[in-house]
Chain A
Amino acid sequence: MTAAEGSVGTAVEVTAASRWYGNVVAVNDVTFRLAGGITGLLGPNGAGKSTILHMIAGFLAPSSGAVTIAGRPTRGHPELYRQVGLVPEHEAVYPFLTGRQFVLANARLQGMTPDQASSATERAIGQVALEAAQDRAIGTYSKGMRQRIKVASALVHDPGVLLLDEPFNGMDPRQRLQMMDLLRRLAAEGRVILFSSHILEEVERLAERVLVIVAGRLAASGDFREIRRLMTDRPHTFTIRSSDDRALAGALMGQPMIAGVSLDDGLLTVRTADFGAFSRAVAGVARRADIRLHELLPTDESLESVFSYLVRR
């Protein structure tokens, strides 16, 4: 499901970018490159996600470092907006326009002729499934519908880069799934999609790649399972079900890479500092002790545990 690598034409590059307001540093020396696929910008509130998104969208200048799309700085180059679609977090939209008028206006402002704009609007509204409500004033929309019309307005000009700031705000679970499907389809066509969220489940489900921002710094980036594996100063935890838990516990305790075993309520939990060595050793230990392994599960390989670890560091 990985998207094809997008052309260099729409690569988003953030290089040692920092942004400060007086004494407050909102973004601190962040570097990453996005060339395609869906990336999730994850972090607690106030971590700097919106600031990074707005720097990529050209609305904030980095205090130091560089933010470029296709090699050109995002600030001061309005023609870049042909390639960029932004879905801002702010709820406000023109309440007196109908959904269709709003998306159409965005299309026209992107430089499309009236005919092009009209068909693009139809397509975009279809993509967010708002055909039924498109002729109602946006002021009457629910929060989720407003989010979707904002996404439609960002998609209407078929941009190569899509930036979404907390896009699932206010959406019910079904709308969220549909939106995620839409984003996956768009990413599969080679677009760069970057979305921010502080909701772990959303990022876990949608993002192929995660950028974890904590207090303005990039705390980790990449596939979250890989990040977990890199967290070597924390022992990994596994639960095991076997034919003889207690005997297995005793046998494992003799192994050098095991940090601890515990037996609670019939569940064998093993802590190990060296994931690799453990996974190589456990089968042999079990066989020599004549114990059958039924189940071996890593218990803390979730984005949540990764995230809480990174945030508390």
Chain B
Amino acid sequence: MNGVIAAITLRQLLSRRRTVLLLLLGGLMILVALALRIGAEGANLPRFAAVLLETFGVATLMPLVALLFGTATIGAELEEGTAIYLLAKPVPRWVTLITKLVVAAVCSVALTCIPVLLAGQLAGGGQHGMVLAFTIAAAAGSLIYCAIFVALSLITSRALIFGLGYILIWEGVLAGLFAGTQTFSVRQHTLAIADTLTDAPTAIFSAPLELGTALVVGSAVVVLATSIAIRRLLLIEIAGETP
């Protein structure tokens, strides 16, 4: 971890526009939780809280936040041309990459887990330890997502779109249709972790994937994605503007 790179990356990621947009998203989740609290029948509240945490928290907020931070942490610098100042240094490339990944992950976790915690609590999901379970699971999920999107941003210049395709088509549509794809869905990994950490009955919330599979595949994905990212950063070629 390199402190200078971390500080610069943090300043870059938490730009005003990006932060405001993501805070708004988090705020929306809290508003929906409030609406649930007021409008839904008390008996069903835990189940709807689970739905909120699963549909808004894990399936919408977590991937969007991680996508924006993950593709920006190094992708934006490469596109803008400031990356050359970080790369023309005797700092080993893997240090640079890991630093940026960690900063992106920390930002993602912060802007995902805090709304999840607050909204989940507000919506009455406090029973069965669901809120805490989802918060922890979302932290893990954010990290896996960030690793994937950082690697993606070093592979293609359209990482944002392909990341969206992965989230919305692979995890959204296909994982619903073909059970096999669930093994490689970060969303399902996150839900599996949450399921294990909470003792909520199946009627309220359950995840199809087993914890073991989720942890093994999730960790493997992080390691693989980070390795690919480091390798690509090592070999990256930067031509001048006028070739």
Contact = CB atoms under 8 A, between A and B. Distances in A.
Interface of A: 26, 45-46, 48-51, 53-54, 57-61, 76, 78-82, 84, 86, 88-94, 96-97, 105-106, 108-111, 153, 165
Interface of B: 2-5, 7-8, 11-12, 80-82, 84-93, 234, 236-243
10 contacts: A48-B243, A60-B239, A81-B89, A90-B81, A92-B82, A93-B82, A106-B89, A108-B4, A109-B5, A165-B240
Given A92-B81, A110-B90, 5 more contacts: A78-B93, A89-B240, A94-B12, A105-B8, A108-B4
A110 B84 contact: no
Contacts of A93: 82, 85
B181 to A, nearest CB: 36
A89 B243 CA distance: 11
A94 B93 CA distance: 20
A204 B161 CA distance: 49
Contacts of B2: 109
Contacts of A60: 237-239
Contacts of B7: 105
Given A90-B81, A109-B2, A84 B239 contact: no
Contacts of A46: 242-243
Contacts of A106: 85, 89
B93 A53 contact: no
Contacts of A111: 90
B159 to A, nearest CB: 19
Nearest to B238: A59
A51 B86 contact: no
A51 B238 contact: no
Name the residue among A53, A90, A165 with the largest chain B CB count within 10 angstroms: A90
Contact of B241 (A26, A89, A96, A97): A89
A256 B91 CA distance: 66
A76 B239 CA distance: 16
Contacts of B90: 78-82, 110-111
Contacts of A81: 88-90
Nearest to B237: A60
Contacts of A89: 240-242
A312 to B, nearest CB: 20
B208 to A, nearest CB: 45
Contacts of A80: 90
A53 B2 CA distance: 27
B89 to A, nearest CB: 4
A51 B84 contact: no
A22 to B, nearest CB: 12
Contacts of A94: 8, 11-12, 82, 85
Given A59-B237, A109-B5, A50 B93 contact: no
A50 to B, nearest CB: 2
Contacts of B3: 108
B89 A50 contact: no
A94 B82 CA distance: 7
A80 B90 CA distance: 7
A59 B236 CA distance: 7
- Among B85, B91, B240, which residue has the most Cβ atoms of chain A within 10 A? B240
Most chain B CB within 10 A, of A26, A50, A59, is at A59
B156 to A, nearest CB: 18
Nearest to A107: B4
Contacts of A92: 80-82
B49 to A, nearest CB: 39
A81 B91 CA distance: 9
Contacts of A96: 11-12
Closest 3 CB pairs of A and B: A50-B240, A90-B81, A92-B81
Best-surrounded residue of B4, B80, B85 (most CB of chain A within 10 A): B85
A49 B239 CA distance: 11
Contacts of B236: 59
Contacts of A108: 3-4
Among A53, A80, A81, which residue has the most Cβ atoms of chain B within 10 A?
Answer: A81
A50 B85 contact: no
A49 B11 contact: no
Contacts of A76: 234
Given A48-B243, A88-B81, A94-B8, A109 B86 contact: yes
B88 to A, nearest CB: 5
Contacts of A45: 242
